[in-house]
Amino acid sequence: MKKKGSLFVVCGPSGVGKGTVCKELLRVRPEIKLSISATTRERRKGEIDGVNYYFLKRNKFEQMIENDEFLEYAKVYDNLYGTPKKYVLEELNKGNDIILEIDPQGAMQIKEKFSDGIFVFLLPPSMEVLRNRIIERGRDSKENIKKRLKCAYEEFDFIREYDYYIINDDLSGAVNSLIAIIEAEGCRVKGDVLEIIRKYKEEI
Ligand SMILES: Nc1nc2c(ncn2[C@@H]2O[C@H](COP(=O)(O)OP(=O)(O)O)[C@@H](O)[C@H]2O)c(=O)[nH]1
Ligand SMILES: Nc1ncnc2c1ncn2[C@@H]1O[C@H](COP(=O)(O)OP(=O)(O)O)[C@@H](O)[C@H]1O
């Protein structure tokens, strides 16, 4: 019997490794789906429209808000980011697990709408490692790095809103923890199992 898919939200400060962990997860577990967000931010070198993000003009993004096409959206570092509703709902209905890699404001909007969503927060091994990862990524100005680290401190205060945390020290360790969470959640006693039991009883 096919189970309904679960919705996972992966959050954590900029530079902690959300993108890296999710990408590696999809490589080893291609059956898991990743929602592609829409954004008004400029495309960076190497990024592909429709792969990394849907890069939209602000008026197109606003039109999608008007048409209620987002599950959630938020302003992050001066740009708008949102999760298109259609793909996520389609995949869940097909029975696929789906991951949203979004910011904490978006995560809290999802929590309101999906009470059985699973919320995972990635932590760095230390603040020094976090700072070094942002520096080594080589994308942010000194001022931006400061802004991102300040934001991280604020985000930590909301860790209680999440179901799980993973310390992204060693990449494969972090990915394995995420897989363990996904697999455990797949076996959670909820509506699906009642349906299985109903079928078993019919067999007797
Ligand atoms: N609310 C919300 N946040 C998003 C979405 N997509 C990405 N983000 C967040 O926006 C922030 C900036 O993302 P990005 O521009 O890729 O920069 P980076 O995370 O610093 O590499 C990150 O915290 C993402 O998790 C989305 O659809 N909704
Ligand atoms: N477990 C890890 N060990 C070492 N470096 C990592 C690890 N995870 C991510 N990184 C590096 O840290 C930087 C930030 O990762 P990224 O996935 O862009 O973060 P985020 O999506 O959270 O902003 C990248 O240069 C990435 O290669």
Instruction: Look at residue 56 and tell me if it is in a domain.
Output: no
Q: Please list every protein residue whose CB sits less than 6 Å from any atom of ligand 2.
A: 12, 14-20, 133, 136-137, 168, 170-171, 174
Q: Tell me what ipTM this predicted complex has.
A: 0.96
Q: Whose CA is nearest to atom 9 of ligand 2?
A: 17
Q: Which atom of ligand 1 is nearest to the CA of 106?
A: 1
Name the nearest CA neighbour of 9 among 130, 104, 148: 104
Q: Whose CA is nearest to atom 6 of ligand 2?
A: 17
Q: What's the pTM? A: 0.94
Q: Which residues are annotated as a binding site for ATP?
A: 12-19
Q: Whose CA is nearest to atom 22 of ligand 1?
A: 103
Q: Indicate whether residue 134 lines ligand 1 (CB < 6 A).
A: no
Instruction: Look at residue 62 and tell me if it is in a domain.
Output: no
Instruction: Look at residue 63 and tell me if it is in a domain.
Output: no
- The number of the ligand nearest the C-alpha atom of 166 reads 2
Ligand 2 centroid to residue 175 C-alpha, Å: 12
Q: Which atom of ligand 2 is nearest to the CA of 173?
A: 1
Ligand 1 centroid to residue 97 C-alpha, Å: 20
Hunting for tokens 């680290």 — which residue is that? 149
CATH code for the domain of 181? 3.40.50.300
pLDDT tens for the chain, 204 residues long, are 556 799 999 999 999 999 999 999 999 999 999 999 999 999 999 999 999 999 999 999 999 999 999 999 999 988 999 999 999 999 999 999 999 999 999 999 999 999 999 999 999 999 999 999 999 988 889 998 999 899 999 999 999 999 999 999 999 999 999 999 999 998 888 877 888 899 999 998
Instruction: Look at residue 85 and tell me if it is in a domain.
Output: no
- Give residues with Cβ within 8 angstroms of 88, minimum separation 6: 7, 35, 71, 98, 100
Instruction: Look at residue 155 and tell me if it is in a domain.
Output: yes
User: What domain range is 104 assigned to?
Assistant: 7-35+97-203
Instruction: Look at residue 53 and tell me if it is in a domain.
Output: no
Number of domains in the chain: 1
Instruction: Look at residue 83 and tell me if it is in a domain.
Output: no
CA distance 14 to 66: 29
Instruction: Look at residue 92 and tell me if it is in a domain.
Output: no
